[in-house]
Every structure is written in structure tokens, then in C-alpha cells.
């Protein structure tokens, strides 16, 4: 049900345009939870634009826009952990719903076998042999795959593969 509101904008379409279009569609559909999440995401996007000196109407580079969304997702994932530990299942579920909406704006993430293959390629490319070389491996992974992997998962995998 969530994806029915997403507009198929051309690749390379600025994230700001997509967020604004999806917000308008969400408002017309009277989807209050989605509207709230999109308003919050737009506010975070505009705050980042202001912080980068572009002003509130500025358009961030794609990488910066993705960073904003990833930051929002990570914040909610942390909240889910805290709410779950404290026994607030309803609040944790609400945060999970927000995560699902926000993840639609992120590229497909490398997971499982794909992530392991990418990490092994980065290790081979850098010639890493020990855990001291972890920084080089992570830089190579970032250069090759950008924001399309979970840094925490990749870091754990690199740690396990290097002796």
C-alpha cells in the first residue's frame, strides 16, 4: 500500500522534487501518517541545504540528499531498539512504519551474498591482510558502491574476514 503513492520520476530527478511531489500526493490522499513523515523529511532536507549554505530553497547533491534520508532512517532504527527494550511495542511499530516510508527514497542496499562479494573484492583490491587495513577496505568499498550498503554490516563482515 505504501508504494502506491510514490511517483515514478526520471532517474536523476532531484530528491527534493520527489519528496515534494510525494507529499502533495499524500496530502491529496489524506494519508496523515505518510504526510507527517514526508513533511519531516522535507524539513530535514531543507535544514541540510541551509547548513550547506544553499538556503531553504537550495537543491542538495544526490549524495547529500541520500545522507539526510539515511540519517533519518538510522535515527528511527535507534528509536525502535529503545522502544523495544522499554516494552513500548506500539511506538516501535510506529517507528518501523516511518522507516518503511523513508527507505523508499534510498537505493537498493547490498545485503547478504552481494555485500560479502563486494567486501571480498574491496579486500582483494586493497591487498588488506589484517584488521589494521580495515579503513582502506571501507574506503574502497565506499568508492565502489557509494551509499548502497550498511556501514555497520560491512564493517562487521570486514572484521570477520580479516585476521
Q: Are 81 and 69 in contact (CB under 8 A)?
A: no
At residue 149, φ and ψ (nearest 5 deg) are -150, 155
Report the pLDDT value the prediction gives residue 59, as an integer from 0 to 100.
85
Report the pLDDT value the prediction gives residue 78, as an integer from 0 to 100.
92
At residue 110, φ and ψ (nearest 5 deg) are -70, 130
Report the pLDDT value the prediction gives residue 6, as an integer from 0 to 100.
40
Q: Are 44 and 56 in contact (CB under 8 A)?
A: no
Within 10 angstroms of residue 108's Cβ, the number of other Cβ atoms is 8
Q: Domain-by-domain residue ranges, the chain?
A: 2-103, 112-161
| pTM tops 0.75, yes or no | no
CA distance 48 to 69: 11
pLDDT classification of 1: cutoffs 50, 70, 90: very low
**1.10.3470, 2.70.98, 1.10.8, 1.10.10: CATH of 112-161:** 1.10.10
* pLDDT tens digits along 85-98: 999 999 999 999 99
* pLDDT tens digits along 46-57: 999 898 888 878
Query: Burial, 41: exposed, middle or buried (Cβ in 10 Å; 0-12, 13-18, 19+)?
Result: buried
Tell me how far apart the 2 most distant CA atoms of the chain are, in Å.
56
Q: Are 161 and 120 in contact (CB under 8 A)?
A: yes
pLDDT classification of 13: cutoffs 50, 70, 90: low
Asked whether residue 147 carries a pLDDT value surpassing 50, the answer given is yes
* pLDDT tens digits along 110-141: 778 888 888 888 888 888 778 888 888 888 88
For cell 552481494, what's the residue? 114
CATH architecture of the domain with residue range 2-103: Orthogonal Bundle (1.10)
Amino acid at each position: 500500500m505504501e508504494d502506491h503513492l510514490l511517483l515514478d520520476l526520471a532517474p536523476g530527478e532531484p530528491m527534493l522534487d520527489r519528496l515534494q511531489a510525494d507529499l502533495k500526493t499524500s496530502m491529496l490522499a489524506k494519508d496523515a501518517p505518510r504526510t507527517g513523515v514526508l513533511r519531516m523529511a522535507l524539513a530535514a532536507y531543507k535544514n541540510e541545504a541551509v547548513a550547506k549554505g544553499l538556503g531553504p530553497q537550495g537543491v542538495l547533491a544526490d549524495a547529500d540528499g541520500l545522507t539526510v534520508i539515511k540519517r533519518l532512517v538510522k535515527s528511527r532504527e535507534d528509536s525502535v531498539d529503545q522502544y523495544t527494550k522499554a516494552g513500548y511495542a506500539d511506538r516501535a511499530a510506529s517507528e518501523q512504519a516511518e522507516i518503511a516510508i523513508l527507505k523508499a527514497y534510498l537505493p537498493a542496499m547490498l545485503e547478504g551474498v552481494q555485500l560479502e562479494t563486494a567486501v571480498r573484492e574491496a579486500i582483494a583490491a586493497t591487498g588488506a591482510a589484517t584488521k589494521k587495513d580495515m579503513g582502506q577496505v571501507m574506503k574502497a568499498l565506499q568508492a565502489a558502491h557509494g551509499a548502497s550498503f550498511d556501514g555497520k554490516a560491512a564493517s562487521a563482515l570486514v572484521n570477520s574476514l580479516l585476521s
